Chains A and B, each alone.
Chain A
Amino acid sequence: MMMTKTKKPIALAVGMLLGLSVATAQATDDMSLHISPQSQPAPEGLEDYAHGDARSGYIYATEETRTLQDDDFENPAFLWVEKAQEQWSTPEGDANKSCQSCHGDVESMKGVGAVYPKFDPEIGDLLNLEKRINRCRSEGMQATPWKWESDELLGMTSLVKMQSRGMPVNVSIDGPAKEYFEKGMKFYNTRVGQMDLACKHCHIDQNGNYMRAELLSQGQANGFPTYRLKWQKLGSLHRRFRGCNNNIRAEKLANGSPEYMALELYVTWRGNGLPIEAPSVRK
């Protein structure tokens, strides 16, 4: 009886209350624990934005928003991407190196964006693209790392990730990444904030329903960094996490914090098989 309940946050909460350590069940073979089973196939013409029960935010977006994303000349995120393209071959730092010096043309980054976040054995920690890029700056170029959410880091992350556009998200949760995955899954299912909600309450249990005029998506990560019309700016997944936490009156955690890194891995894994859309456009 308890085993069937271990995925439920109340069971976790009760377990903690009773001072028990509730093991998070693996159960990665049962996707209904991670994504709401869809009763309808993907809408006609949008089949590429679905994989199994996973649905990209693109499907939940309005046609106007999709049109903005579809045309690189219309997509406002390309203001940042264009600057990053110049940056790619601009030498910087004490080593006087550019990205180009080591990696050649940016096209060599094809496939990279699809497998991050990724455990880096050399560093012994989970890295997402932002951290990977900053690692290159501090170690390879001996330049100052960019601030999280800076125009430079958002632009470069988008430029690298868009080299994998259309490729399926394919992050690994095996080996040392497993621990981060489990931590992320636990966070996803833990109630937080004065409103006492877990990610799963809106993005699994209520996926497809309306909160006021807001259609609840699955909260997929395949489009990030994303140009949000609400922000009038390109933004990272961690900025979106902070926004969600703030909405339910929970303390916002730091960009790049261990909790958000683990959550990024879990959330990205839920969308394995969806196409990379970065830089996407959302409402």
Chain B
Amino acid sequence: MNFRIFKRKLASAFTLCAFGGLTFGASSALAEGSLMRVSEPNLKPYTIVDGTSIPDSLSGKAGNAVNGKKLLVHRKKGNCLTCHSAPILEEEFHGDVAPPLEGVGDRMSAGEIRLRLVNPKVINPDTPMMAYYRTHGLNQVSKSFVGKPMLNEQEIEDIVAYLITLK
């Protein structure tokens, strides 16, 4: 790991640590086999493994892929097509600012997709992608959204369940 990447990862760890009431499961942050427990106001705690994945369901339940597809399209929920294209032909105008979602189920595990929905900045601090399951460490949030995640835990699970079918 070069110094720059290490610094980024460290920065992410600080963010989570400072705001997350984090307890480290390993002495070195984000090393292989590391476990990071993240807990933010109004959210269920979750564990990031190796800094790359959240293997466990946030809600403790399986997701519903049919509902996940609806949430992915919905402009006040996932609204994923603003930036990503997806194999959903009935929807016009897919964005092209982010990688296509087609084949994401081949490229990533459910846990890796889950982390990218929950907080993609753990992977890439400069990403334009929003963290869908985060309530802390944000600036100037509109009053009606303060303390609320963009999606709740079951909505995240439903979208993960849909995305994993895109093979």
Contacts and interface: CB of A to CB of B under 8 A. Distances in A.
B97 A211 contact: yes
Contacts, number: 88
A88 to B, nearest CB: 38
Interface in A187-223: 190-197, 201-202, 205-206, 209-213, 216
B130 A195 contact: yes
A245 interface: yes
Interface in B116-135: 121, 125-126, 128, 130-131, 134
Given A193-B145, A251-B143, 13 more contacts: A1-B4, A10-B121, A10-B125, A13-B11, A192-B139, A193-B141, A196-B138, A206-B97, A211-B82, A246-B142, A249-B145, A250-B139, A251-B142
A249 B145 CA distance: 7
A212 B145 contact: no
Of B7, B11, B94, most buried by chain A (CB within 10 Å of CB) is: B11
**Majority secondary structure, B binding face:** loop
Nearest to A252: B142
B139 A194 contact: no
Contacts of B121: 10, 196
Interface residues of B, number: 33
Interface in A1-57: 1, 8-10, 13-14, 17-18
A210 B142 contact: no
Interface string B92-123: 11111100000000000000000000000100
Contacts of A1: 3-4, 7
Of B14, B81, B130, most buried by chain A (CB within 10 Å of CB) is: B130
Contacts of A14: 11, 14-15
Contacts of A195: 130, 150
A184 B134 CA distance: 27
Contact of A194 (B11, B95, B96, B150): B150
A197 B15 CA distance: 17
Contacts of B69: none
A250 B131 contact: no
A209 B97 contact: yes
B93 A210 contact: yes
B38 interface: no
State which size class the interface on A falls in: 20 to 34
A18 B14 contact: yes
Contacts of A191: 138-139
B138 A193 contact: yes
A251 B18 CA distance: 24
Contacts of A194: 130, 138, 141-142, 145, 148, 150
For the complex of A and B, 8 pairs with smallest distance between CB atoms: A10-B125, A201-B128, A192-B140, A213-B93, A194-B145, A195-B130, A14-B11, A209-B97
Given A193-B142, A251-B142, A212 B130 contact: no
13 contacts: A1-B7, A10-B11, A14-B14, A17-B14, A192-B138, A193-B141, A196-B131, A201-B128, A205-B128, A209-B96, A210-B97, A211-B82, A212-B82
Interface in B1-57: 3-4, 7-8, 11, 14-15, 18
Nearest to A15: B11
Nearest to B15: A17
B65 interface: no
Contacts of B92: 213
Interface string A169-195: 000000000000000000000111111
